[in-house]
Amino acid sequence: MLFCLPARANILWSLPEPVTVHESGMGKDILGGAVRRSARDSDALYFKFRVNPLSDVSKEEYFAGFQLFEGDTERLGVGNSFKAWAYSAFNTEETGENNTVFGDLDLHSATPESYEAGKFLAYELPRRGIVRTIIFKVQYVPHGDDLVTAWIDPDLSAGMTEENQLTILTTQFRAKATFNQIRLRHGGGGEGWTFSDLAVATSFQDFIVVPFWRQWWFISTIVMALLLAVGATVRVVEKRKFQRQLQRAEQQHALERERGRIAMDLHDELGSSLTQISLLGGLLRVDKENPAQVDTHATRLAAAADHSVRALEEIVWAVRPGSDTMQGLVDYIAHFANDLFAENRIRCRLDLPVELPARALPPDVRHNIFLIVKEALTNVLKHAGGSVVNLQVQVDDGKLQIAIADDGQGFAAGATATNGEHNGLENMRRRAAAVGGQLEVTSEPGKGTRVEFKMTFPN
């Protein structure tokens, strides 16, 4: 019920509506002569724009930026340089320590890129759909290189200034920044950038949104808020009552769903195995005079019995409350992998965390994750034709990552899979999506296959 109105002054030029730029070439002037600076000037200007990348620099090589021009001569640009692959400035008089092209300089960011476990670089890659606001200041130096200060997503709340912005948001360098045009540019891969909220001002404070309280409507708003508070309180009480009822209904539905899953597992896993055991027992009686057939039936009977025991063990584990932990999941995965490859020529190497967080996992989440791992390991046993499979589990900062990689024959991207393999991959992807995770499968002929499952735990 309380309003904050922007109080701005000395905005020399602005273009609030969004502009999408794709394959622009040298671009077109959007300034229209509203502002200019020459080599004789000694004041400071502040430039602001918001960018929504439609291109993902981690997948598509491209450049994009908000660039100053003096006539047709390129001056300072801010955005993503072609070879920087990060939010960066280009056409500068300095080169960043992480850059390979003269005049490219990566900008500091509060969300730096990780390049090794626990280590971060200072810059940030532009990601598709992740909006960033960039402000840069040019302190003009007469007949010299101008001093530029850039901020990615600075704090523009009331009371903030350029001096108290965080160091990790701030980058300083020198560049030629005289101009009489501003052009928005994009070239290379991807679908471009969408710019919005463009402005040129004489002060950092011109971009600060200041609360404005001393208006006639403020007191009226407070009175109305008090009148509405009584009604809102009644509504909140009724809403909480309804939510409790809904929660109980959801718990009952979850219980019914779990019962249904257990029944289906018993039918699908144990039902088929027990039926096979029964049929093989009948064949043993019929072929009891044929030793070769008896041996074949006995071998198949033992395999069916082993499968039944393993299926029953999985079902019991899936419903046992004491297993609803991260430790319980990892321990059972290790037990299953060792058992699966115990009498096989394929060696299974386990890379498991020494310590695991004491995190509870709902039965359906735990079961789906295990079935993804089971399907991947079974595929290695049946189809890979390799000698080693590596199973790695990592848990860090609320994220779970499980990778299964083999040195088998692999397959070409886009190759047609058999119905069984296709259904297996689809089942794995569906289970990953059901728990809010992601599944990536990479493979090349002769270079094995890697299946990677990633999941972020809810707070």
In a domain, 377, yes or no: yes
User: Is 416 a member of any domain?
Assistant: yes
Q: With cut-offs at 50, 70 and 90, classify the pLDDT of residue 6.
A: very low
Model confidence at 294: pLDDT above 70: no
Most confident region among 36-40, 56-60, 307-311, 436-440 by mean pLDDT: 36-40
Segment 282-303 shows an average pLDDT of: 66
- Domain presence at residue 110: yes
- Among 319, 345, 376, residue at a domain's last position: 319
> What pLDDT score was predicted for residue 3?
40
- Is the confidence at residue 255, as pLDDT, over 90? no
Is pLDDT at 135 greater than 90 in this prediction? yes
CA–CA gap between residue 428 and residue 369 (Å, rounded)? 9
Are residues 92 and 228 part of one domain?
A: no
Q: How confident is residue 330, by pLDDT bands cut at 50, 70 and 90?
A: confident
293 and 349 inside one domain = no
Query: Is it the case that residue 326 has pLDDT exceeding 90?
Result: no
pLDDT tens column, 191-221: 999 999 999 999 999 998 766 564 456 777 8
Q: Which of 187, 207, 227 is the last residue of a domain?
A: 207
Number of domains comprising the chain: 3
Contact 325, 359 (CB under 8 A): yes
Q: In the chain, what is the greatest distance between 2 CA atoms, to the nearest angstrom?
A: 109
Q: Distances in Å between the alpha carbon of 360 and those of 100, 219, 281, 371, 458? A: 47, 49, 43, 18, 11
Average the pLDDT over 175-201 and give the result.
Answer: 95
Which residue, 438, 441, 443, is CA-closest to 453?
A: 438
Q: What is the mean pLDDT of the chain?
A: 83
- Output the pLDDT for position 1: 36
Dist. CA 400–CA 361, nearest whole Å: 12
Residues 169 and 260 in one domain: no
* pLDDT (0 to 100) of residue 153: 95
CA 87 to CA 105: how far, in whole Å? 9
Alpha carbon distance 54, 114 (integer Å): 22
Residue 428 pLDDT exceeds 80: yes
pLDDT at position 113, please? 83
- Smallest CA-to-CA distance from 70 within 181, 146, 155 is with 181
Residues 6+ apart with CB under 8 A from 440: 450, 451, 452, 454
Q: What per-residue confidence (pLDDT) applies to 171?
A: 96
Residue 368 burial (CB count, 10 A): 22
Using CA atoms, how far apart are residues 398 and 395, in angstroms rounded to an integer?
7
Which residues have CB under 8 Å from 34's CB, separation 6+? 12, 13, 200
State whether 304 and 451 are in the same domain.
Answer: no
Residues 6+ apart with CB under 8 A from 54: 20, 22, 128, 129, 190, 191, 192, 193, 194
What is the percent of the chain with per-residue pLDDT over 70, rounded to a whole number?
Answer: 77
- CATH number of the domain that 358 lies in? 3.30.565.10
pLDDT of 179 strictly over 90:
yes
pLDDT at 2: 38
Indicate whether 254 and 173 sit together in one domain.
no
User: Where does the pLDDT of residue 301 fall: very low under 50, low under 70, confident under 90, or very high at 90 and above?
Assistant: low
The C-alpha torsion from 291 through 292 and 298 to 299, rounded to 10°, is: 150
Count CB neighbours of 190 within 10 A.
22
For residues 119 and 191, the answer to whether their CB atoms sit within 8 Å is: no
355 and 415 in a single domain? The answer is: yes
What are the tens digits of pLDDT across the range 32-59?
A: 999 999 999 999 999 999 999 998 877 8
**Helix, strand, coil shares of the chain as percentages rounded to 5?**
35, 30, 35
Contact 171, 50 (CB under 8 A): no
- Is the domain of 180 the same as that of 247? no
Listed in sequence order, the residues at least 6 apart from 435 whose beta carbon sits closer than 8 Å to its beta carbon are: 364, 365, 368, 369, 455
Spell 118-140 as b/e; 16+ CB within 10 A means b. Answer: eeebbbbbbeeeeebbbbbbbeb
Q: How many CB atoms lie within 10 A of CB 154?
A: 22
What is the model's pLDDT at position 451? Answer: 92
Per-residue model confidence (pLDDT) at position 215: 46
Average pLDDT over residues 390-397: 88
Q: Which domain holds residue 139?
A: 11-207
Other beta carbons less than 10 A from residue 13's beta carbon: 16
Q: Which of 286, 319, 352 is the last residue of a domain?
A: 319
329 and 313 both lie in a single domain: no
- For the residues 3-11, what does the mean pLDDT come to? 53
What is the reported pLDDT for 62?
Answer: 92
**127: CATH:** 2.60.120
Higher pLDDT, 7 or 397: 397
234 and 369 share one domain: no
Please determine, for residue 416, whether its predicted confidence score (pLDDT) is greater than 50.
no
- Judge whether 49 and 67 are in contact, CB under 8 Å: no
132 and 47 together in one domain? yes
**Pair (175, 137) in one structural domain:** yes
